[in-house]
């Protein structure tokens, strides 16, 4: 069992299903008080991560959290770049990038003030490889990586650590509407020849959220079944 500060509270966005729900369960199993937030039903808090007023309201209600897991996200359009509409592009960035930014901006100051905190942002192997037919998703997840690298450096001496997990394709509701050809390509590039499971990603997220982590910030941790090459 991993250890966390006594009475630690975690906020997991996208916590109603998929990776977010698996992370919430894993942290809860270790005794962490977990609050899930999602626009979908089934979460503790209904939250549109793109709405700054809603994020600020949640911060007011919850107060300080010790662990922030930004798992809310969308795949976005599955089409060649030249066929992607501007609003589809912007929506993907609003959810994947703006949402991560707004949650970090809201909750990291409380962690800094307390002298301890963990931020884990979910990106994707697509952020490194650039999936054909998923330009908006790939670019937005690359932005999440860069955001986290910057944040990790900014708070490196405060006791707050910020890191990224970059999975390959995972069996989750978020991928339910993904072009099957894109998922097949991802699996063909994965030496383990299968998709990941949410609970496998949650194990890595839990470690990055715990007191076991002490000398890593602004780093990218792959969970790709061997697909990652750098």
Residues with active-site annotation: 137
Q: What tokens appear for 43 in the block? A: 């979460």
Cβ–Cβ < 8 Å for 130, 117? no
**What whole-number distance in Å separates Cα of residue 69 and Cα of residue 67?**
7
Q: What tokens appear for 175 in the block? A: 């991928």
Q: Are strands 220-223 and 160-167 parallel, antiparallel or unpaired?
A: parallel
**What whole-number distance in Å separates Cα of residue 92 and Cα of residue 50?**
10
Beta-carbon contacts of residue 171 (< 8 Å; ≥ 6 apart): 195, 196, 197, 198
Nearest to 125 by CA among 170, 64, 65: 170
Residues 115-150, buried b or exposed e (16+ Cβ, 10 A)? ebbbbbbbbbbbbbbebebbbbbbbbbbbbbebbbe
Per DSSP, the three-state class of 145 is helix
**What whole-number distance in Å separates Cα of residue 31 and Cα of residue 74?**
29
Cβ–Cβ < 8 Å for 141, 99? no
């Amino acid at each position: 069992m991993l250890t966390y500060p006594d009475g630690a509270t975690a906020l997991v966005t996208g916590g109603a299903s998929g990776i977010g729900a698996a992370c919430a369960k894993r942290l809860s199993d270790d005794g962490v008080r977990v609050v899930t937030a999602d626009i979908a039903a089934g979460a503790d808090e209904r939250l549109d991560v793109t709405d700054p007023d809603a994020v600020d309201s949640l911060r007011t209600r919850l107060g300080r959290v010790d662990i922030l897991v930004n798992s809310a996200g969308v795949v976005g359009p599955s089409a060649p770049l030249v066929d992607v509409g501007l609003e589809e592009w912007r929506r993907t960035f609003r959810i994947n990038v703006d949402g991560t930014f707004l949650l970090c901006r809201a909750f990291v100051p409380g962690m800094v003030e307390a002298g301890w905190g963990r931020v884990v942002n979910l990106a994707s192997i697509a952020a490194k490889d650039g999936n054909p037919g998923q330009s908006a998703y790939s670019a937005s997840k690359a932005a999440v990586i860069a955001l986290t690298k910057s944040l990790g450096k900014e708070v490196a001496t405060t006791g707050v650590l910020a890191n990224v997990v970059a999975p390959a394709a995972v069996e989750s509701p978020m991928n339910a509407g993904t072009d099957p050809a894109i998922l097949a390509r991802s699996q063909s590039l994965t030496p383990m020849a299968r998709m990941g499971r949410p609970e496998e990603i949650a194990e890595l997220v839990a470690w990055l959220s715990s007191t076991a982590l002490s000398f890593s910030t602004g780093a990218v941790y792959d969970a790709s079944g061997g697909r990652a090459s750098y």
